[in-house]
Amino acid sequence: MDLEVEAGEAVSVMGPSGCGKSTLLHLLGGLERPDAGELYLGGVRVDGLSETRWAVFRRRNVGFVFQAFHLVDELTAVENVELPALLVGGSRRAARRRAMELLDRLGVAGRAGHLPDRLSGGEQQRVAVARALVNEPLVLLADEPTGNLDSRATGEILRLFGELGQAGQALLTVTHDARVASTADRLLTMRDGAIVAQTRLGAGTSVAGLLASLADLAGER
C-alpha cells in the first residue's frame, strides 16, 4: 500500500468488513505499530519513534474521532475538550479558552457544563470532534464517525468536516456510510488489505442533470 494525503485533503476509505481499513487508520494514528514500511506525518518519519516520543507527537498532531465517541464520562463537555490541550502542556486558561471557542463553533457551547450522559449522540460527537481539534492537529482520523448518529446529526458532522480543509487539516475517514464517503475529495476502496481503487469525487461534475431529474414530474400523476 502506498498512500499520500495532502494538507487540507479529505479522503474516505470504504471496503467490506475485515478489509483492513480500520487497521490502516490505527497505523496512521499510532494505535498499532507497523511490522514494515514507513510512515510520515508532516514530513516527520514517525514509525521509528520510541513509544513515548510517538505518543507526544501524536497528541499534538493527530486527532481521533470514533463511532462510540469515547468521551470521559466523569468530565463535563468542556473538560473533555480541553484535556488534550492540558496533556501537551498548555496553560489552563488557554486550554479553556480554546475549548470554549471550539464548542461555540460546533454549536454546543450551551452544553459545555454538561456531563456526556446528558448530551444527545449528535452533541457528544460534536464534543468529540472539538476534543480532536483542540490541539490543531495536522490530521483528523475518523472511524465510522456517524455510525451512531441520526440523519440530521450526520449532516452536522459532515458540515464540520467540510470546514477542516480550509484550515489546511487533512481528514481521513473510514466508513460504511455512502453519504459520509461521498463528501470526501478522494475515495479509496480497500479489499483484502490493499487499496484496489482510488477516485476523485469532486472533479467538475455538473449538477444540472441531477436537478433536472429531481424536478421531473412527467412520470408522476
Footprint on residues 50-109 left by another protein (CB under 8 A): none
Range 111-150, binding another protein (CB under 8 A): none
Rounded CA-CA distance 197/6 in Å is 18
Q: What is the number of alpha carbons within 13 Å of residue 208 lying toward its C-beta?
A: 2
Q: Which residue, 50, 42, 55, is CA-closest to 7?
A: 42
- The residue (of 136 and 185) whose beta carbon lies closer to another protein is 185
170, 181, 190, 195: which one binds another protein (CB under 8 A): 181
Taking the C-alpha atoms of residue 212 and residue 104, their distance in angstroms, rounded to an integer, is 38
CB of 156 to another protein, least distance (A): 9
Q: Does 218 bind another protein (CB under 8 A)?
A: yes
- What mask, x for binding another protein by CB under 8 A, covers residues 149 to 178? --xx--x--xx--x--------------xx
Q: How far apart are CA 114 and CA 108, in angstroms?
A: 10
Residues 6 or more apart whose CB falls under 8 angstroms from that of 61 comprise 41, 42, 135, 137, 138, 139
198: nearest Cα among 4, 53, 52, 7: 4
**Count of beta carbons in the 10 Å neighbourhood of residue 86:** 16
205: contact with another protein by CB under 8 A: yes
Q: Does 36 bind another protein (CB under 8 A)?
A: no
Size of the site for another protein (CB under 8 A): 30
Nearer Cβ to another protein (131/186) = 186
Interface residue list for another protein (CB under 8 A): 151-152, 155, 158-159, 162, 177-179, 181-183, 187, 197, 199, 201-202, 205, 207-208, 210-212, 214-215, 217-221
